[in-house]
Structure 1
Amino acid sequence: MIFRQLFDIESSTYTYLLGCENTHEAIVIDPVFEQHARDSALIRELGLKLRYALDTHVHADHVTGAWLMSQTLGAQSVIAEHARVTGTDVNVSDGDVLGFGNCSVTVRATPGHTDGCLTYVTRDQDMAFTGDCLLIRGAGRTDFQAGNAHQMWQSIQEQIFTLPDTCLLYPGHDYSGRTVSTVKEEKAFNPRIGGEALEEDFVGYMNNLALPHPRLIDIAVPANLRSGRPKDDRLPGTIEWGPVMVNFAGIPEVAPDWVARHRGDLYLLDVRSRGEFEGQLEHIESAVLIPLDELRERLEEIPTDKPVVAVCQSGKRSAMATQILQSSGYPESANLAGGMIQWHRLGLPCNAHS
């Protein structure tokens, strides 16, 4: 199975991408609204077709990206029926199975942090995604959104600790850089519910956490009760000057054939050496040569009234040029995907043939 663990530094949220190696159907668990460009780029680069965008619960510290995944990638949004979220595509309950290609996850109801919390378990019970129920050496707070420490005790004991000891546990959050645990570890070492802890020990611990409310709770909860759908229905991060795609490395890129059709509307910045510019791969008509090594000292030569497309041999040096432009006051800038190699592969016109 294809598996990736992603992290949002602002909310310390983990997002998980699971895909079937045979069919390339996939699911994403707990996507973050602000990380949509990153996550969708990874899905695109891995050649995956997203079938479901799952939330483990109604989050209080970030807005879900489920609606965005539905709008842009055709995924169906999934959350617990008991969460009472509007606009979601699939409402699930304990025991339901969600398939993606030849893989699947089973829904386990694990209320306690909220009354609509879920844990998703892979078919072979070798991985479980516990949301904010059981954390690594911790457990989600139980003091708002109908949370209940007694209920969480039962959820962990009956739904998570009954999984095989070797089952890998992937939480919704971690604030100390920990990424994964196992059922056996948490049974033994979790300071809230592990070892010889009894229910009254766990409840007493949880009821005395005295944590401040999440900073974004008044924004996140109402938005997440709409499945992350903005009130104005606007898709964030839309780039209007061209069909720009941001890759998983964070570099905005445009396709060569689109650039060829819009050369007159763009400033084409070739960052190769003079020899390469006049060499075998030639150069695009109207492209201006500023070698990458000189770019930072010659930025004032680049106009700001046109979008800038950086060009090199393979798209690697021009990716660095794009980063320099983006950080130097040229937000309408992008990399020519694949560089002059891809340009020639497509048979697009160069200076000698224009």
Structure 2
Amino acid sequence: MLFRQLFDPETSTYTYLIADTSDKEAILIDPVLEQVERDLKLLNELGLNLRYCLETHIHADHITGTGKLREITGCQGIVPQNAQAACADRFLKDGEVLQLGEIPIEAIATPGHTDSHMAYLVNGKQILTGDSLLIRGCGRTDFQGGDAGILYDSVTQRLFTLTDDTLVYPAHDYRGQTVSTIKEEKQFNPRFTGSDRSSFIQLMASLDLANPKKIAEAVPANQQCGKVSATI
């Protein structure tokens, strides 16, 4: 299996490239529009065929590269079930397995950051957590149908129940961290250690965060698989 973590410095977004090295089928998770040329160049260099672009959720901080990549490569655009993106080719349900050659990618519903959010368990060993669980943090819950109590349940009941050695790969990091483990996050993540559901809800309500800079542009564009409206 080929696994690459790619970074967009403007939005601190991680895109993940996964491929079955035997049949050269590849998937990109959370691609960024401004990085499409980079991703295509890497796919070409490695002789990979992009079969899928997969989103963890409808992003508010960057525009997805899925639409452009689909136009160029003919790949399928896939989003979580109930995501507001009628343009998608496929909607993944909780527990559904997307098979990439010999690599199973299991969808695990982790709502709370948004009302339709998935984490993806790759080969039973690596969990792509999107914005639900970050390294020593978590995604915000104050827009796009977010709910702090539901996020607490998603992380503690769906992610923290994975094996301790499961590698954690988030969709963002703002401090240069690249990977963690479930064991580390259970022990050291300040959003969850020593917190119960009620105190977590209170903590998230007190954050008073500014909106992402691109939210007005990104959300409607991502609901169209990355197509930017002429009115934006």
TM bucket normalised to smaller: over 0.9
Distance in 1 of aligned mates of 2:64 and 2:80: 14
1:41 aligns with 2:41: yes
1:182 match:
181
SS of 2:62's equivalent in the other structure is coil
Counterpart mapping for 1:137-286 below 5 A: 137-194=136-193, 196-231=194-229
Distance in 1 of aligned mates of 2:199 and 2:23: 47
Give how far 1:219 is off: 0.2
Percent identity between matched residues is: 48
Deviation by residue 1:50-85 (Cα, 9 ceiling, x = unmatched): 111001000001000111121111210010121121
- The code of the aligned residue for 1:96 comes to E
Distance in 1 of aligned mates of 2:120 and 2:84: 19
Identify the structure with bigger relative contact order (alpha carbons < 8 Å, sequence gap 6+): 2
Specify every segment of 5 or more residues in structure 1 that has no aligned partner in the other structure, as ranges: 233-354
1:51 aligns with 2:51: yes
- The code of the aligned residue for 1:155 comes to S
Deviation by residue 1:132-153 (Cα, 9 ceiling, x = unmatched): 0000000000000010000001
SS of 2:82's equivalent in the other structure is helix
Deviation by residue 1:202-221 (Cα, 9 ceiling, x = unmatched): 11111111100001100000
Aligned residues: 230
1:251 match:
none
2:77 match:
77
Deviation by residue 1:317-342 (Cα, 9 ceiling, x = unmatched): xxxxxxxxxxxxxxxxxxxxxxxxxx
Q: Could you say which structure has the larger radius of gyration?
A: 1
The structure whose residues are more often strand, as a share, is 2
1:106 match:
106
Specify every segment of 5 or more residues in structure 2 that has no aligned partner in the other structure, as ranges: none
SS of 1:3's equivalent in the other structure is strand
Deviation by residue 1:252-303 (Cα, 9 ceiling, x = unmatched): xxxxxxxxxxxxxxxxxxxxxxxxxxxxxxxxxxxxxxxxxxxxxxxxxxxx
Between 218-227 and 96-105, report the one with greater CA deviation. 96-105
Distance in 1 of aligned mates of 2:75 and 2:184: 34
TM-score by length of 1: 0.64
Distance in 2 of aligned mates of 1:217 and 1:184: 33
TM-score by length of 2: 0.97
Deviation by residue 1:138-181 (Cα, 9 ceiling, x = unmatched): 00000000100000011001111111100000000000000000
Counterpart mapping for 1:286-301 below 5 A: none
Distance in 2 of aligned mates of 1:71 and 1:99: 22
- The code of the aligned residue for 2:127 comes to A
Between 79-88 and 2-11, report the one with greater CA deviation. 79-88
- The code of the aligned residue for 2:148 comes to A
Give how far 1:21 is off: 1.4
4+ aligned runs moved over 3 Å, structure 1: none
Root-mean-square deviation (CA, aligned residues, Å) is 1.0
Distance in 2 of aligned mates of 1:146 and 1:61: 16
Counterpart mapping for 1:79-94 below 5 A: 79-94=79-94
